[in-house]
Amino acid sequence: MTEISRRLFLLGGVSLFPYLYFERLSVAVRSFQVPVQNLPPSFHGFTILQLTDLHDKEFGTGGKELLGILRTLDFDLVALTGDLVVGEEPRLTPVLDLVAGMGSFSKSPVYSVCGNHEHALNRAREFDGRLEKAGVRVLTNGWDILERGKDRLWVVGVDDPVTGRDRLEAALSGTDSAFPRLLLAHSPHPFPQAVKSGVDLTLVGHTHGGQVRLPLLGAAYVPSMGYFPRYDYGLYRVGGSSMIVNGGLGESWAPVRFNIRPEIVLATLVPLRQDTPPPGQATG
């Protein structure tokens, strides 16, 4: 290697590290407007805050930096969509700190579904219990209902699809399409079935947007979804059903992110109009 090429190589490496550091810790807020058919008037503008794939990660002591962002946002419901922990010595404290912190400035209900990392540790039910003790409503192949006068919104949650524990048919049992149905799942796997079942909006994570995201190509590989998966990141719409794949906050296999910052999602429900344009991918 010549001296000049060696210098350029070292300069490139030194320049890359600050960028990778920024990518890991600089949180993006992605906002989507999701058209919903027959959306009841009292739920027009209803906004869901989705946090996913935290993987033990802290943004400041007690999550204060992330809480500083959340405090500036308006939302009506919080959705935690799995993989809140990682590794052989998992820590649930980071997400519990966020839940407690949000409780100081928001009365929005918090719902949670399980991810594959919780099950990999064989501690999913333990973590669910701790979340419920903190005031979180854990949905395991079941549903809850939000009421505003005579209007309703179904909140449905399935157990982890990556490990095959999701039971969408059972979770939807007892709901009906007279009112909108919001589905929380850890990964995109249930989306085709959700489309057939008439679910209005599905919120998922798992992919990390690829974690290392290739320009123009997207996620090269996602565990349990293979190479260049169809649903890797952003907003998708099939018929009257939408899905948002959140890029998540943390990392699993390595503490690196490239071309995909940590993110939180705000999904706002709006009435479906005949001239509603097709969805695009998420933008920063």
User: Is 51 exposed, middle or buried (CB count within 10 Å of its CB: 0-12, 13-18, 19+)?
Assistant: buried
Q: What end-to-end distance do the CA atoms of the chain give, in Å? A: 39
On whether the CB atoms of residues 235 and 276 are closer than 8 A, the answer is no
pTM of the model: 0.89
Spatial CA neighbour of 27 closest among 81, 79, 63, 1:
63
pLDDT score at 252: 86
Q: Is the dihedral of CA 225, 227, 232, 236 positive or negative?
A: negative
The DSSP secondary-structure symbol of 1 reads -
The Cα–Cα gap between 131 and 154 comes to 21
pLDDT at 253: 75
Angstrom distances, CA of residue 251 to CA of 78, 99, 102: 21, 20, 23
What's the one-letter identity of residue 242?
A: S
- Overall average pLDDT of the 176-199 stretch: 97
In Å, how far are 131, 145, 243 from 67, measured between CA atoms? 18, 27, 26
Domain ranges of the chain: 3-271
**CATH class for domain 3-271?**
alpha beta
Tell me which residue has tokens 């169809």. 230
Local confidence band at 284 (pLDDT 50, 70, 90 cut-offs)? very low
pLDDT band at 118 (very low <50, low <70, confident <90, very high): very high
Q: What is the pLDDT of residues 240-266, one digit of tens each?
A: 999 999 999 999 878 889 999 999 999
State the pLDDT confidence band at 276, using cuts at 50, 70 and 90: low
**Average pLDDT value over all residues in the chain:** 90
Q: Looking at the predicted structure, is the pLDDT value of residue 3 above 60?
A: no
Q: Which residue has the higher pLDDT, 181 or 3?
A: 181
